[in-house]
Amino acid sequence: ELKVEQNPLFLSMQEGKNYTIYCNYSTTSDRLYWYRQDPGKSLESLFVLLSNGAVKQEGRLMASLDTKARLSTLHITAAVHDLSATYFCAVDTNRGSTLGRLYFGRGTQLTVWP
């Protein structure tokens, strides 16, 4: 069964600092997703990465994908308090036209402090 590992699981960082969250997965994946979850809330889609070398950016977050290394990164630039949340990566191994199952990592709980 596909395994998805995120690290770190907990991240406490000061506002204005940069940091990277790593997501490794154990087998070939068609698509990789990053989601954000606020306490007690559902999952909000941040990025979908479809191919090797894909890079997407939204505000202070940038995600990249290296399918050969089976690694995705979520880079945080100049963190602000509003980024405090839990971030999940998830991979989808389906090779057909219908969406398959998502395998999630355990999540990275990010806390940004002044």
Partner 1 sequence: ETGVTQSPTHLIKTRGQQVTLRCSSQSGHNTVSWYQQALGQGPQFIFQYYREEENGRGNFPPRFSGLQFPNYSSELNVNALELDDSALYLCASSWAGWTDTQYFGPGTRLTVL
- Site residues (vs partner 1, CB under 8 A): 4, 33, 35, 41-45, 48, 50, 88, 90, 97-107
Q: Give the nearer residue to partner 1 in terms of CB position, either 56 or 80.
A: 56
Cα separation, 43 vs 19, in Å, equals: 22
Q: How many residues does the chain have?
A: 114
Tell me the closest approach of the beta carbon of residue 49 to partner 1, in angstroms.
11
Judge contact between 113 and 48, C-beta under 8 A: no
Q: Give the nearer residue to partner 1 in terms of CB position, either 37 or 77.
A: 37
Cα separation, 87 vs 109, in Å, equals: 6
Tell me the closest approach of the beta carbon of residue 16 to partner 1, in angstroms.
28
